[in-house]
Structure 1
Amino acid sequence: MNNDKRRLILERLRENNPKPQTELNWSSPFELLIAVLLSAQATDVSVNKATDKLYPIANTPESILALGVDGLKQYIKTIGLFNSKAENTIKTCKMLIELHNSEVPENRAALEALPGVGRKTANVVLNTAFGWPTIAVDTHIYRVSNRTKLAMGKTVDDVEAKLLKVIPSEFKLDVHHWLILHGRYTCIARKPRCGSCIIEDLCEFKEKIYPEE
């Protein structure tokens, strides 16, 4: 895909959604960090249902740490992998208190040092909470980037590197949200909704699917 076509795609996505937001509920960098940590291999809907009950009770490192692993599990037990996520969340809260004055660090290395926080989670926090032009590549973004030919790669890290290289600076802050939402609702895995796609004419996916007339 050439750069002119990439720009047209991005301009169209921006026109359709000028100020994209994450679908996770959060009101502080800490709430976002915990929500993203909990969202691994889980839907945003399931995470929101849990945090909507958890955050009114505990939404700081100290208050969640006070719940303990077993107490936290009662709030997040409907989320996949809740046992390990509870352990990591409690450890993360302890580290934030001891090493970062209970604040979420605006630093990639410090974020990735937290239990359960990998590159993707760090990218989401840096982008959404702190306004960094990072691009967190999940399964949706990996699929959309490869399928459309926007930025092709064999791994999520390859796709991230390619996106960072080919996406113009003016779009980098929001492209993560545009692509994840596009993959979640339009360019879905099994039967992409090509007939209702706003970038269908620009996409280079050869096996487009259209509803039967």
Structure 2
Amino acid sequence: MNKDKRYQILTRLRDNNPKPETELNFSSPFELLVAVTLSAQATDVSVNKATDKLFPVANTPQAIYDLGIDGLKQYIKTIGLYNNKAVNVINACKMLIDLHAGEVPENREALEALPGVGRKTANVVLNTAFGWPTIAVDTHIFRLANRTKFAPGKNVDQVELNMLKVVPSEFKVDVHHWFILHGRYTCLARKPRCGSCIIEDLCEFKDKVYPED
């Protein structure tokens, strides 16, 4: 895909949604960190249902740490892998209390040192909480980048690197939100809704899908 096509795609996505936001509910960097940690292999809807009950009760590292692992599990047991996630969140809270005065660090290395926090989660927190031009590549972005030929790569790291290379700076802060939402609601994994896609004419996917007459 050439530079002009990419620019047109990003412009259309921006015009369609000038201020994209995550669909996870949060009101602080810490709440976002917890929500993203819980969202691994789970839907945002399921995470929001859990955190909408959790955060009014405990929404700081100390408050969640005080719940303990078993106490936290009671709030997140409807989420996949909740046992491991509870352990990771409690241990991350302890590190935030001991090493960062209970605050979420605006630092990639410090974030990735937290239990349950990998590069993708760190990217989301740095981007969404602190406004960094990072690109968190999830399954939607990986699929979209490859299917459209926007920034193909064999794995998420390659796609992230390629996206960072080809996305102009004016779009970098918001591009991962646009791609996630587009992949979630239009460019679906099994049956993409090509006929209602705002970038259909720019996309280089050879096997486009259209509704039957």
Instruction: Establish whether TM, by shorter chain, passes 0.5.
Output: yes
For residue 35 of structure 1, what is the aligned residue in structure 2? 35
Letter in 1 for 2:76: I
SS of the equivalent of 1:23 reads: coil
For residue 99 of structure 2, what is the aligned residue in structure 1? 99
The offset of 1:91, in angstroms, is 0.1
* Number of corresponding residues: 213
Counterparts of 2:176 and 2:129, CA distance in 1? 13
What whole-Å deviation, never above 9, does each CA across 1:62-91 have from its counterpart, x for those lacking one? 000000000000000000000000000000
Counterparts of 2:176 and 2:5, CA distance in 1? 18
Counterparts of 1:14 and 1:206, CA distance in 2? 24
Output the aligned Cα RMSD.
0.2
Structure 1 unaligned regions, length at least 5: none
The offset of 1:167, in angstroms, is 0.3
The offset of 1:44, in angstroms, is 0.2
Letter in 2 for 1:78: T
Q: Does 1:187 align with 2:198?
A: no
For residue 176 of structure 2, what is the aligned residue in structure 1? 176
SS of the equivalent of 1:14 reads: helix
SS of the equivalent of 2:174 reads: helix
Counterparts of 1:181 and 1:80, CA distance in 2? 22
For residue 143 of structure 1, what is the aligned residue in structure 2? 143
With the length of structure 1 as denominator, give the TM-score of the two structures.
Answer: 1.00
Structure 2 unaligned regions, length at least 5: none
SS of the equivalent of 1:164 reads: helix
For residue 115 of structure 2, what is the aligned residue in structure 1? 115
Counterparts of 2:144 and 2:2, CA distance in 1? 16
Counterparts of 2:206 and 2:195, CA distance in 1? 14
Letter in 1 for 2:85: K
For residue 12 of structure 2, what is the aligned residue in structure 1? 12
Counterparts of 1:196 and 1:11, CA distance in 2? 17
Q: Does 1:65 align with 2:65?
A: yes
The offset of 1:194, in angstroms, is 0.1
Task: Give the ranges of 4+ consecutive aligned residues of structure 1 lying more than 6 Å apart after TM superposition.
Answer: none
What whole-Å deviation, never above 9, does each CA across 1:122-166 have from its counterpart, x for those lacking one? 000000000000000000000000000000000000000000000
The offset of 1:107, in angstroms, is 0.1
Q: Does 1:208 align with 2:205?
A: no
Q: Provide the identity percentage.
A: 80
The offset of 1:39, in angstroms, is 0.2
Counterparts of 2:102 and 2:78, CA distance in 1? 27
Equivalent positions of 1:119-130 (< 5 A) are 119-130=119-130
Counterparts of 1:103 and 1:51, CA distance in 2? 19
